[in-house]
């Protein structure tokens, strides 16, 4: 891919490693105009990659690289275009936290190095540039390709991985990433993986839960405190919760802290009574007897 400026002046190395600083060597760090050219190169490569993969929008651009902690490996051919150099392609990688499924269907939380975008110019493909660029990245990261994850690899990229690295048996995933057989079983990979704790199955109800439920049932069956029969648990608890001697004549409205179950001999159909009502009835009976005997 050719540009209207000198590629060799911007990228001094055959393979340049770019990050969010958009700096390719000391020279570009000191010259803003060269950084602008670097941004132009990255944007053009991102658009070409999106077009080749039939994507609706580029997934690689200078602005995205500046906002993400990814690395972009850019390969050039410095002898082409009359010594001005041409850009051959790029490879973008970065670490991603993923939830993956192994062969047994167990969810695994991992943060592997992922291939996020890979593009070689169409007129320069099948010349070994892709293998050179990919091998450079593997050596720089000191990593095996089976330990990596691949974001939405195209059929052409999958053929590349099968041909050069024998990666053919992929483990199906529910996301857009592809991992291959051996990713979960390598010792180096397992050290970086962490199983997501499974949800505990619903077991038997614990004894204390049964007791709590029985208390709720008793509370729902018993009458409210003003109408509770004498010597009932509600009356007992209410009298115990009185806040001062001046309030002992009236039941406390504080919610009971403990609800005792009703006595085995108690009846739920008893009419509500109170000592005050009993005394009134006794007084009325006494008055009636006195009137019948002629006492006034």
| 265/61: higher pLDDT | 61
Q: Is residue 273 in some structural domain?
A: no
Can you tell me the mean pLDDT for 192-212? Answer: 51
Q: Higher pLDDT residue, 185 or 16? A: 16
On whether residue 245 sits in a domain, the answer given is no
Decide if 159 is inside a domain. yes
State which residues form the domain around 154.
Answer: 7-187
Question: Binding residue per annotation — 206?
Answer: no
Please check whether residue 100 lies inside any domain of the structure: yes
Distance CA(291)–CA(283), nearest Å, equals: 12
pLDDT in tens, 129-143: 999 999 999 999 999
Residue tagged 């651009």 (tokens)? 61
- What value does the mean pLDDT take over residues 113-130? 96
The CATH number that applies at residue 42 is: 3.40.630.30
The closest of 35, 25, 17 to 133, measured between CA atoms, is: 17
295 is in an annotated binding site: no
Q: Is 150 annotated as a binding residue?
A: no
Residue 108 belongs to some domain of the structure:
yes
Q: Is 181 annotated as a binding residue?
A: no
129 is in an annotated binding site: yes
> Was 121 annotated as part of a binding site?
yes
Query: Is 96 annotated in some ligand binding site?
Result: no
154 in a labelled binding site: yes
More confident residue, 69 or 249: 69
Task: Confirm or deny that 161 is annotated as ligand binding.
Answer: yes
The answer on whether 123 is annotated among ligand-binding residues is yes
Residue 159 confidence (pLDDT) above 70: yes
Q: Give the pairing type, strands 149-151 and 177-180.
A: antiparallel
For residue 70, what pLDDT band results from cuts at 50, 70 and 90?
A: very high
208 alpha carbon, distance to own chain's centre: 33
How many structural domains compose the chain?
1
| Residue 131 labeled ligand binder | yes
For CA atoms 38, 43, 44, 49, the dihedral sign is positive
158 is in an annotated binding site: yes
Q: What does the pLDDT average to over 55-64?
A: 96
User: pLDDT (tens digit, 9 = 90+) per residue, 220-255?
Assistant: 565 555 555 555 555 554 455 444 444 444 444 444
Number of Cβ within 10 Å of residue 227's Cβ equals 13
Residue 124 lies in a domain: yes
Is residue 260 included in any domain, yes or no? no
Name the β-bridge partners of 73: 17, 91
Query: Mean pLDDT in the chain?
Result: 78
With respect to residue 162, please indicate whether it lies within any of the assigned structural domains: yes
Query: Is-above-0.85 flag for pTM?
Result: no
């Amino acid at each position: 891919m050719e540009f209207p400026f000198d590629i060799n002046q911007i990228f001094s190395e055959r393979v340049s490693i770019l990050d969010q600083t958009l700096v390719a060597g000391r020279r570009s760090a000191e010259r803003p105009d060269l950084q602008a050219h670097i941004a132009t190169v990255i944007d053009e490569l991102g658009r070409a990659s999106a077009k080749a993969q039939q994507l609706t929008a580029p997934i690689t651009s200078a602005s995205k690289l500046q906002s993400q902690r990814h690395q972009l490996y850019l390969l050039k051919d410095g002898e082409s275009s009359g010594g001005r150099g041409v850009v051959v392609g790029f490879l973008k990688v970065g670490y991603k936290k993923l939830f993956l499924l192994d062969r047994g269907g167990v969810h695994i939380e991992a943060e592997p190095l992922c291939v996020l975008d890979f593009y070689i110019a169409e007129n320069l493909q099948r010349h070994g540039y892709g293998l050179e660029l990919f091998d450079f990245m593997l050596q720089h990261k000191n990593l095996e390709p089976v330990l990596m994850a691949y974001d939405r690899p195209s059929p052409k990229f999958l053929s590349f991985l099968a041909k050069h690295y024998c990666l053919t048996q992929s483990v199906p995933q529910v996301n857009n990433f592809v991992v291959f057989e051996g990713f979960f079983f390598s010792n180096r990979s397992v050290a970086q993986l962490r199983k997501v704790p499974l949800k505990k199955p619903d077991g038997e109800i614990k004894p204390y839960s049964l007791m709590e439920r029985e208390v709720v049932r008793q509370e729902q069956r018993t009458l409210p405190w003003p109408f509770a029969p004498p010597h009932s648990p509600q009356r007992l608890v209410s009298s115990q919760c009185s806040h001062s001697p001046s309030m002992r004549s009236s039941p406390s409205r504080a919610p009971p802290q403990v609800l005792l179950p009703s006595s085995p001999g108690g009846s739920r159909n008893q009419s509500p009574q109170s000592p005050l009502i009993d005394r009134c009835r006794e007084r009325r009976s006494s008055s009636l007897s006195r009137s019948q005997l002629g006492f006034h």
